[in-house]
Structure 1
Amino acid sequence: MIVRTGIVCSGNYKGWKIEVADDSEGATGGFYLILSSREKIFDYWFENARQLENQLTDFDVSWIIGSDGD
């Protein structure tokens, strides 16, 4: 389930959509970070929320209102 959505504001992924998916109760038991542009999609899996949050500090994100990243 997607729990946060935003747009990367600077750096190599500026303008890319960023989504955080919580699968902690699902098949993988972890979290996904999904980066997408018109041409490419990358996803990264994290075992726990702490690892995910550590990775998110590398991005300057404008979270979309209504997502948990507000």
Structure 2
Amino acid sequence: MRNEECCPECGGTKFGEGKSHGEARVYPMKKMLTLGSDVTHVICITCGFILKSFVKEPHKFEDNK
């Protein structure tokens, strides 16, 4: 995240990244045989608010018709 951004909950300006544990993966809707991608979260280290979430491997969601 850019340094000038702040947490909408507490105004904090320090952030960390984490990922969900276990089966917290995202899978493409129309592809049956794929491992999907982990979801990463950007978290305010002051209050714990999740500012954004994204997949690490977005190319796995490309529609190959």
For this structure pair, what is the TM-score category when the shorter chain's length is used for normalisation? 0.3 to 0.5
Pick the structure with more helix per residue.
1
Give the structure with higher Rg (CA).
2
Pick the structure with more strand per residue.
1
TM-score by length of 2: 0.36
TM-score by length of 1: 0.35
